[in-house]
Structure 1
Amino acid sequence: MESSNDQPSPAGTMKAFTHTASGLPSAILRLSHSLPIPILAAPTDVLVKISHASLNPGGSIITRMVPMPFRTKPSIPDMDFSGTVIKTSKSVPVSRELVPGTAVFGTVPMSQHVMGGKGALAEYVAVPAENLVLKPSNVSFEEAAGLPITGVTATSCMDLAKVKRGERVLVNGASGGIGSLVVQMAKGAVGDEGMVVGVCSGRNLEMVKGLGADEVIDYQEHAPVWKYLESKFGAEPFDAILDCRGVQDLWLHCPKYLKKGKPFVTVGTTPKDYNFIGIVSTIGITISNMWLPTWLGGVDRPYLTAKGFPDLPGMERVARLAAEGMKVPIDSCWDLEDALKAYDIMLSKHARGKVVVKM
């Protein structure tokens, strides 16, 4: 077999969104047409021509929260992508099958994103081989881009919840990127004899039912949702709650509809605003939820926070689930030139599945 290292690298420049200041994407991102194409700087680096990038709230938190004196300028935003292998370094294991022309999806390592300025909103990216997995043939590039952070977070939710066959499960934020995957995983875990109840806006009811939910609650029609859950499910409480939106009131009142000793799993409390005060406040709320004793007003249920840092085993697991039929709902797909509109949709917190950008 011809060594992948013998394949030529593309020459010239690439298009990418970059920023040299901290702030909201709409205020700081600029489209560059003359950024150098990345080189293979490490022994196991792989150069990928990006097909699609997906947007995550964490990416926008980084652009607002991490001071630019600690970052490479210019920096490219966001981390998750799909694409095609162009060239590999000599030390990439042959067993990984990451030869030129291979379709993959992956993520930029957090350290290289924050400190090195690497990102997914570009035509090319160079990342370690361990940050890439083969794209299943039945999954489009558009869908695959939405798998790394979102998929690993969803599987973390399920691992913490330890959902069993025949149980009753509530999924809040069931139409979002993470929630839409959790609904499918939860239904597969509880089986036909179990029950999955999803919470989302009324316009997404049919979508969530199509993902496998047995019942769907419109949080706008039944506001406040916690009170509706108490009245409807107080007599037959849930075995697990998976909050994929981060709603504090759902946690504070959960003893009224969640069995004693059963887990409340969350992706973390959603900040009111993605700024320093909002993030710090959210961290404080999370610590309080986890450790505040009941005699000081704490809630008598386990509060567990999902992890969303992709690694190779986690992404390979997500790839298997997608190959087996797990759907990745796409809210919208935008051309690179319209990426700022894509950020507006993602940050509205009302996206139906993933928001992706096509290179």
Structure 2
Amino acid sequence: MRAISYSRFGGADVLELTDLPTPKVAPDAVLVRVRAASVNPVDWKVRGGYLDAVLDTFFPAVPGWDVAGVVEQVGLDATEYAPGDEVYGYVRKDVVQGGTFAELVAAPVRTLARKPATLSFEEAAGVPLAGLTAYQTIRRAGVHEGQTVLVHAAAGGVGAFAVQIARALGARVIGTASEKNHEFLRGLGAEPVTYGDGLADRVRALAPDGVDVALDYVGGDAVAVSAAVLADGGTIASVVDAAARDDHGGQYVWVRPSVPDLEALAALIDAGKVTVEVAEVFDLADAAEAHRANESGHTRGKIVVRVAGGAG
């Protein structure tokens, strides 16, 4: 099968199009013919070796954790699916090796759910990691109807999902973004504010009594600003800064694969409450350029890699 792989840590130039053996399928896994995958910041951080202290890497490593595709073969005990089923998922394993930037990926059933019916494969591939990150931070923070929620980096891949999920729960959302993305945020139902110096004052102008929940998807001084505008009894959740938990009694979240959460996201999407913005689609052979585009940090929406379904 064709795949993108790398045999040493480094920049995007270490990625190359290669031929690798078809993955073996464990009893609790299925073989998915990949139609599309997407790039997340963690992908180039893993490629650069920044998570080597957390996850063992076996070379040649195939990057990618997001996938949308079609089940081709089921494992001996994978009764949840049958060949031909359309699935999507966050295929994070316990080691870095057989990722989703390949024609075929062996995916544990705990990482998959049925693809949202209303999405293309390219759109569906943009959901799992970012959507789960938003969904799980919102759940851990206890967001509910009537609350005011501050979303940092609201126009980013995770933030845009968080805005929509919080709005679907009945919360008021204030979102930080550059001015060029303010109209985009208004379209998602958020009240935009420009990030940078004076952010706390701008948030207080919109929410004089403070915000009930602050969601940090960017790092930097986001937790400190959140603490400054938090209402009494409010909560901070961050996927970047452990200070949210250690210094402010909030939540520090590392996203997990979750079948129920993927199903909940699919339900929100198919109900028209959550949409997916795809910024650009690359071919598999151009995966290095897809990594560079994501690494630049200047895109709005998801960077997707389309995988041609050739023979395994």
TM-score (norm 2): 0.89
Q: Is contact 2:237–2:245 with CA below 8 Å preserved after alignment? A: no
Tell me which residue corresponds to 1:180: 160
Question: Which residue of 2 is the match for residue 358 of structure 1?
Answer: 306
| Cα separation, 2, equivalents of 1:306 and 1:102 | 31
Distance 1:231 1:212 in 2: 19
**Equivalent in 51, 64, 69 of residue 48 of structure 2:** 64
Note if contact 1:234-1:256 (Cα within 8 Å) is conserved in structure 2.
Answer: no
Q: Could you say which residue in structure 1 is the equivalent of 2:235?
A: 263
Question: What does residue 310 of structure 2 align with?
Answer: none
User: Displacement of 1:258 after TM fit?
Assistant: 1.4
Whether contact under 8 Å (1:49, 1:124) holds in the other structure is yes
What CA distance in whole angstroms lies between the structure 1 residues aligned with 2:88 and 2:203? 42
Match of 1:77 among 63, 66, 69: 63
1:243 to 191, 216, 219: 216
Which protein has greater RCO, CA pairs closer than 8 Å, 6+ apart?
2
SS of 1:235's partner is: coil
Equivalent of 1:38 in 1, 11, 23: 23
**Residue segments in structure 2 that go unaligned for 5+ positions in a row:** 308-312
The residue that corresponds to 1:15 in the other structure is 2
Query: CA 1:99/1:229 → structure 2, altered by over 3 Å: closer, same or farther?
Result: same
C-alpha deviations, 1:195-237, integer Å up to 9, x for none? 2111112222222111111x21232xxx314343365247331
Compared with structure 1, are the counterparts of its residues 91 and 70 closer, same or farther at alpha carbon in structure 2 (3 Å cutoff)? closer
CA distance in 2 between counterparts of 1:197 and 1:227 reads 12
Q: 1:125 to 1:234 in 2, by over 3 A?
A: closer
Deviations 1:181-200 (A, max 9, x none): 1101111223xxx5211111
Is contact 1:226–1:254 with CA below 8 Å preserved after alignment?
Answer: no
Quick check: 1:53–1:145 contact (8 Å CA) kept in 2? yes
User: C-alpha distance in 1, partners of 2:163/2:263?
Assistant: 20
TM-score, scaled to structure 1 = 0.78
Is 1:170 paired with 2:170? no
Contact 1:261 1:302 survives alignment (8 Å) = no
Structure with greater proportional strand content? 2
Deviations 1:243-277 (A, max 9, x none): 2222x3232233432112201111213xxxxxxxx
- What is the root-mean-square deviation of aligned Cα atoms in Å? 2.2
Q: Describe how 1:95-106 pairs up with structure 2 within 5 A.
A: 96=80, 98-106=81-89
Instruction: Report which of the two has the higher share of helix.
Output: 1
**Which residue of 1 is the match for residue 138 of structure 2?**
158
Q: CA distance change for structure 1 residues 110 and 202 in 2, over 3 Å: closer, same or farther?
A: same
Alpha-carbon distance between aligned partners in 2 of 1:47 and 1:289, rounded to the nearest angstrom: 39
TM-fit CA distance, 1:49: 0.9
SS of the counterpart of 2:98?
coil
Distance 1:17 1:255 in 2: 42
Q: 1:318 aligns with which of 234, 256, 265?
A: 265
Which secondary structure state, in structure 2, belongs to the residue aligned with residue 58 of structure 1? helix
Q: In the TM superposition, what is the alpha-carbon distance from 1:50 to its structure 2 partner? A: 0.3
Cα distance in 1 between the residues matched to 2:286 and 2:135: 31
Q: Which residue of 2 aligns with 1:303?
A: 250
Query: Which residue of structure 2 lines up, in the alignment, with residue 209 of structure 1?
Result: 186
**Superimposed CA distance per residue, residues 34-68 of structure 1 (whole angstroms, 9 cap, x where no aligned partner):** 2222232x223311110110111222222222559
Q: Give yes or no for contact 2:116–2:270 (8 Å, CA) kept in 1.
A: yes
What amino acid maps onto 2:128 in structure 1? P
Q: Indicate conservation of the 8 Å contact 2:283/2:306, yes or no.
A: yes
Equivalent position amino acid for 2:157 in 1? G
Q: Is the 8 A contact 2:244 2:251 kept in 1?
A: no
